[in-house]
Copies of this chain bind each other. A is one copy, B any other.
């Protein structure tokens, strides 16, 4: 995977891959912690855990924890453990999310529950939650335990709000931003805050890290919701329209409703489409045409770019470094996935 001459690599790599390159050894340790702590005598539990841990994704959250620690000082054992804990929480929520939204694909692989059923996804998620808190108890910091408890609660509340925002035309922008804050930005914030905390960052540094994380997470999710209408399946690794077919009402539909209100005879048909229990491919194709007709996507990209700019500003508290530069580039990268 890694090319031997680091210069060549850096020219080729996108910022996420470069983070993975910079912290390759540490991420190996993170993966080891994840594997070792998913152990159970009941062998199906580590089996399912490994499946979802190894399907892996890009490890963006633990990479950000490591980056935060590096920016504030150095990456010690605790920082690596925190990175693993962040990924553990993410993995556990993914497993329950598979049950929750019955998505058929996760990271381009069949989700756990399509292989083992809802029952095992729920129990394996519970098992990973328990293992996460076991790691945190061993770590011994009640403050960090409390941070994970608060983070978990916010993520769950976000999931609940998202369910209540399905197949309805009554989702406001405020509702939407509350949802993506809880379901995405909150864990980004905790990932970086934890790295900063264990590396003994200053109050200003940790505030900067949290602001960077919040704004990066918001722009990341804004673009994710755009990609549900525009991405090619191969690139995204999950089917386009996945959220749409599940009845999700995200910003593209909200903006579209706003723009068609009072000006389009198709508004009523759009509303009927949004509240449909079973939206189909024809609905998606029609909505895609409307989105382009009303120039919705560029507006949302602009919004995402505003968040990205705030994220970059938040890093002013840190002196220039190669790593800071990579984190700056990352704010552009999450947006340009859109193209």
Q: Are A42 and B152 CB-contacts (below 8 A) given A133-B133, A134-B146?
A: no
Chain B contacts for A41, CB-based, 8 A: 157
A44–B44 CA distance with the chains assembled, in angstroms: 33
Chain B contacts for A123, CB-based, 8 A: 96, 100, 156, 159-160, 163
Q: Look across to chain B and name the residue whose beta carbon is closest to the beta carbon of A102.
A: B119
Q: Which of the residues B45, B99, B118 comes within 8 Å of A160, measured between beta carbons?
A: B45
- How many monomers of this chain does the complex have? 2
Residues of A103-138 whose CB lies within 8 A of B: 118-120, 122-123, 125-127, 129-131, 133-134, 137
Main secondary structure of the interface of A (DSSP, over half): helix
Q: Are A149 and B137 CB-contacts (below 8 A) given A41-B157, A44-B160?
A: yes
Contact of A142 with B by CB under 8 A: yes
| CB <8 Å contact, A40 and B129 | no
Chain B contacts for A127, CB-based, 8 A: 153, 156-157, 160
The winner among A41, A101, A118, A153 for most chain B CB atoms within 10 A is A153
Q: Which of the residues B120, B122, B145, B160 comes within 8 Å of A133, measured between beta carbons?
A: B145
Contact of A140 with B by CB under 8 A: yes
Q: Which of the residues B122, B130, B145, B150 comes within 8 Å of A100, measured between beta carbons?
A: B122
Q: Which of the residues B145, B152, B156, B157 comes within 8 Å of A145, measured between beta carbons?
A: B145
A119–B137 CA distance with the chains assembled, in angstroms: 29
Contact of A161 with B by CB under 8 A: yes
| CB <8 Å contact, A130 and B118 | no
Q: Look across to chain B and name the residue whose beta carbon is closest to the beta carbon of A147.
A: B137
| CB <8 Å contact, B119 and A163 | yes
Contact of A6 with B by CB under 8 A: no
Name A residues whose Cβ lies closer than 8 Å to a Cβ of B: 40-42, 44-45, 96, 99-101, 118-120, 122-123, 125-127, 129-131, 133-134, 137, 140, 142, 145-146, 149-150, 152-153, 156-157, 159-161, 163-164
19 contacts between A and B (CB under 8 A): A41-B157, A42-B161, A99-B119, A100-B123, A119-B163, A120-B163, A122-B122, A122-B125, A123-B159, A123-B160, A125-B126, A126-B152, A126-B156, A127-B153, A130-B149, A133-B133, A133-B149, A137-B146, A142-B142
CB-based closest 8 A-B pairs: A130-B152, A42-B157, A100-B119, A134-B149, A130-B153, A127-B156, A137-B146, A126-B156
